């Protein structure tokens, strides 16, 4: 089974690349972030033609997440149970479903903006709610994973230059502690486990030649429980999909499971 996560930064803008990528890679389940569309605008019909069912949590031009699967899509939960609100509403940042033998979450963790911004406090509240929501599945025996854009680099090794991020979000002790607390439910970071080389980045800013200069961050993560992590046979970041005209600023993260 092949499962992946990809922040597409607008599914409308990325649709031709997305459809071609699914066909070329043989991905069974894809967790998508930043759809930036309404539920009515989501390309469910085009995906259905390729054999994928869709579960979408979206409200319009900002945020939005989805799960698409060709191995089944059951027990869908839209939104983050018990999640906090921002500006009076819960943003569309989480969707979960059972896809064949695996229970998966697609998450788009709040950015946080600046350390002294209200959105940063919201980010920490959101991560705490995520921990509570996934704790039971994380400790269970069924393969389970939380995949997505976490907007946190777990360590300084996940940054092209730690000095360039001093004073910014994504690297603060509180954010990293929130990730540790999430992993303490029984999850592990499966990408470094599987890779035979240094952890690659998953995000490169469009500005200042971020990708050509490899000035990136690893913020797109796959956290799996014991049953999921033990089945991982391979994992990689598809850097090729970050290349060329019309690419997202994130690359897909792909995990192969022997189940």
Active site residues: 108, 149, 250
Count of H helices and E strands in the chain? Answer: 6, 14
Angle 118-138/173-183 helices, nearest 10 degrees?
10
Query: DSSP characters for 159-205?
Result: BS-GGGGTTSTTS-HHHHHHHHHHHTTT-EEHHHHH-SSPPPPSEE-
34 has binding-site annotation: yes
CA distance 6 to 254: 9
CA nearest 32: which of 56, 1, 62? 56
Q: What is the torsional sign of CA 81, 101, 140, 231?
A: negative
117 has binding-site annotation: no
- SS3 of 215, please? coil
149 has binding-site annotation: yes
250 has binding-site annotation: yes
CA distance 114 to 56: 28
- Cβ atoms within 10 Å of 20's Cβ, excluding its own: 11
CA distance 251 to 145: 19
Query: DSSP characters for 13-49?
Result: HHHHHHHHHHHHHT-SEEEEE---S-GGGS-HHHHHH
The binding site for Mg(2+) comprises: 7, 34, 149, 151, 249-250
The binding site comprises: 7, 34, 149, 151, 249-250
């Amino acid at each position: 089974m092949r499962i992946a996560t990809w922040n597409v930064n607008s599914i409308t803008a990325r649709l031709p690349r997305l459809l071609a990528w699914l066909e070329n890679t043989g991905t069974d389940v894809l967790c998508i972030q930043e759809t930036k569309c309404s539920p009515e605008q989501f390309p469910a019909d085009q995906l259905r033609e390729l054999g994928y069912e869709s579960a979408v949590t979206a409200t319009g031009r900002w945020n939005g997440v989805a799960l698409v699967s060709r191995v089944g899509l059951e027990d869908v939960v839209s939104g983050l149970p018990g999640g906090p609100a921002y500006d009076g509403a819960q943003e569309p940042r989480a969707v979960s479903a059972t896809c064949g033998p695996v229970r998966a979450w697609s998450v788009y963790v709040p950015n946080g903006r600046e350390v002294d911004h209200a959105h940063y406090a919201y980010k920490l509240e959101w991560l705490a709610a995520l921990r509570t929501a996934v704790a039971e599945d994380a400790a269970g025996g069924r393969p389970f994973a939380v995949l997505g854009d976490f907007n946190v680099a777990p360590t300084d090794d996940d940054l092209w230059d730690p000095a360039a991020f001093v004073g910014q979000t994504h690297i603060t002790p509180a954010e990293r502690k929130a990730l540790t607390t999430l992993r303490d439910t029984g999850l592990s970071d499966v990408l470094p486990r599987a890779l035979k080389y240094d952890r690659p980045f998953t995000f490169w800013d469009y500005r200042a030649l971020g990708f050509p200069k490899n000035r990136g961050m690893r913020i797109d993560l796959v956290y799996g429980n014991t049953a999921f992590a033990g089945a991982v046979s391979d994992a990689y970041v598809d850097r090729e999909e970050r290349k060329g005209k019309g690419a997202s600023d994130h690359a897909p993260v792909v995990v192969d499971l022997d189940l």
